[in-house]
Chains A and B, each alone.
Chain A
Amino acid sequence: MLQPKDPAQKIELYLRQVRSGLRDLPEPQVADILQELRSHILESAQTGGALSDTATDAALQALGRPQEVASLYVAENFMARAESSRTPWMVLRGVFFWAMLSLKGFVVLTLCLIGYMFGAAFFIAALAKPFNPQAVGLWMTSPDSYSLMLGMTDSPRHGRELLGWFLIPVGCSLGGGTILLTTHFGLWCIRRFQRARVTLGLEGSHE
């Protein structure tokens, strides 16, 4: 790729790189961010009304790498939104975005998915109980083992059902509790790791 020589070109290239990292944000917000950064760069780089080459380089350097600045915006924006909505969907979206960046994010995404699937399974079992009370339940699959099975089974005669109609309140509260806990876990991880990543990312950016 050709290196731009002109200070104005350098600034536009920098802003284009920031823009490419801001894909997840709505366009009016992106335009506002770029306008503010442009205004900052022009003002720091202008000496006596003209853009000097060295002052432009220094201004861009002081601002940090464009990808890092963009990822800070995305992280801060996402945290503000996850914080205000606190819904499983927002948490999963954020963790998914993070999982594409790092292994830690991938581990957290896997844990959250498992948590939400367990929560959904409890709910589905509770909802299905009235429709097929003979087959749906928490089954102890054989009398001499401690293996448990939740859900619908074809051969209930070998096993023993443990909860009966209590499956409905127990399933609903365990389902709700698991989903709530997973959401809190996801939010906690996002706050903790995302902050650390962003700080360390910027620390490393000038090395």
Chain B
Amino acid sequence: MIAHPIETAAPPNSPMDKWEVQLRKGCLELAILASLWPGRLYGLEILRLLEQDSDLVITEGTVYPLLSRLKAEGLLHSEWVEADAGHPRKYYRLTAAGRRRVAAMGRIWSRFSASLNRLLSRVLKEEK
């Protein structure tokens, strides 16, 4: 099985593909923080949520180091919980600082995307 780490719309290894990978990677931190807004989740749940709710399909191996940095920055808190599965799971939740950060990032994102969409609406209309 050959898994492309990030399934982009552009053909692999083209300049557009690189741009799309960078764009998605840039948004990954926000997506992870946002996925934890309702409550605590463990790594695999975050991954499944990201695959389901957004098309941010990513190499699974990138999420864990990122979670560890977000924790080191004080945005996340983690705890080990014994599970029926036979192995404990590491759950993450947002700290107060994490909630403030994701709310601020969300405001910036929605302002930014709204203005970019206005700009792009002309491009996309004329292209049709």
Contact = CB atoms under 8 A, between A and B. Distances in A.
Given A39-B90, A63-B61, A77 B69 contact: yes
B59 A76 contact: no
A206 B90 contact: no
Nearest to A37: B64
Contacts of A76: 65-66, 68-69, 72
Contact of B65 (A35, A46, A73, A199): A73
A32 B65 CA distance: 12
Contact of A206 (B5, B44, B64, B86): B5
B62 A202 contact: yes
B87 A62 contact: no
Contact of B68 (A33, A39, A83): A33
A206 B62 CA distance: 14
A185 B109 CA distance: 28
B104 interface: no
Interface string B98-110: 0000000000000
A69 interface: yes
Contacts of B88: 35, 39
A39 B69 CA distance: 19
Contacts of A172: none
B61 A72 contact: yes
B60 A43 contact: no
A65 to B, nearest CB: 8
B55 interface: no
Contacts of B85: 42-43, 46
Interface in A45-64: 46, 57-58, 61-64
Instruction: Return the 5 tightest CB-CB contacts between A and B, nearest first.
Output: A64-B61, A76-B69, A72-B65, A80-B72, A69-B61
Given A43-B44, A80-B69, 9 more contacts: A35-B90, A36-B90, A42-B86, A43-B85, A61-B1, A61-B3, A73-B65, A76-B66, A77-B65
Interface of A: 32-33, 35-40, 42-44, 46, 57-58, 61-65, 68-69, 72-73, 75-77, 79-81, 83, 199, 202-203, 205-206
